[in-house]
Amino acid sequence: MIALIGTVACSTFIFVIFRIFERFNIGTFQAIIANYFTAFLCGILLYRNEVRTDAFIHLEWLPYIIVSSILFITLFMMMAVSAQKNGIAATSVAVKMSMAVSMLGMILIYNEALSGPKLLGIFCALLGVYLIASSGSKSNKRNTAYLLIILFIGSGLLDLNLNYAQNNVLTYISSSIFTAFGFAAAGILGVLVYIIQSFRGKAQPINAKNLIAGFLLGIPNYYSIYFLLESYQSLPWQDSSILAVVNVSVVLLSVITGFIVFNESLNPKKLIGIVAALISILLLYFSS
């Protein structure tokens, strides 16, 4: 249960940090690159005793690292822009609605049972996040529709990729080291993109403020993924139920944080969505 609480808290804090970036004029891309190397160091320094030499002989996990790195940095850039334009609540909804994609994949891959309460819980979760997402202004939704679509599909694929790797290919490498290597690959990919931008004259000069911001972002970023993998491994629930509880909880906490800290709107439609999300958590918990 501690791992479950940890991934919810860290995931929400990421949205908060992205929201603050705009206020302090942080260069998002540089900060995101620095964040991934920070996250890598967190994993290696804290769990270096789990590194096994045979992991570099049996490389079944490598394709999943590559896929994760591409999704990590792409989705993070999208999340940063969306958090600054749409607010914490709307962005978290766009990301966490993706549980429909990953749940569908898990049910198909693992042949998980789809009971009545679980089906109703999934429906309430999707209804809740939809109501919250659609409660903003029409003009704002039109301008950022492409971000929401990319975040929805991409985040679902990322969750499914991490879950499948956890259950099928992490024989010679622990979940903590797997996560760290994924972040390192994302950081290297970001550096390559920055070098290309520099040759094209489009890169911003490296700024210490951006690197510090990336360091502060990297710690919760690492643990948001690590605690999610640990939840899959330690809790006696089905994986799709764990994912639903995590995603809906992040949405609720993000909505509350956005309202209290950043004065984001909390209209009746959004309140109904919060109630639906709470009901979904209870249904998914008791159906596990």
258-278 pLDDT, tens digit each: 888 888 777 888 788 888 877
Q: Give the DSSP letter of residue 1.
A: -
Query: How confident is the model at residue 37, as a pLDDT?
Result: 96
| Alpha carbon distance 15, 257 (integer Å) | 10
- The full length of the chain comes to 288
The residue written with tokens 């070098």 in the block is: 195
Distance CA 264, CA 251 (A): 14
Q: What is the pLDDT of residues 204-259, one digit of tens each?
A: 888 999 999 999 999 998 888 888 878 888 888 777 678 778 878 888 898 888 88
Q: How far is CA 16 from CA 2, 77, 266, in A?
A: 21, 14, 17
- The pLDDT tens digits of the residues spanning 88-107 come to 877 887 787 777 777 777 77
Q: Supply 148's token pair.
A: 């929401």
Q: Average pLDDT in the 144-164 region? A: 82
What's the whole-number average pLDDT of the chain?
Answer: 84
Cβ neighbours of 5 (radius 10 Å): 13
Q: Determine contact, residues 251/277, Cβ cutoff 8 Å.
A: yes
- pLDDT tens for residues 18-56? 889 888 889 989 999 999 999 999 989 888 888 888 888
The predicted model gives 160-183 an average pLDDT of 86
- Residue 203: its pLDDT value, please? 80
- Cβ–Cβ < 8 Å for 18, 79: yes
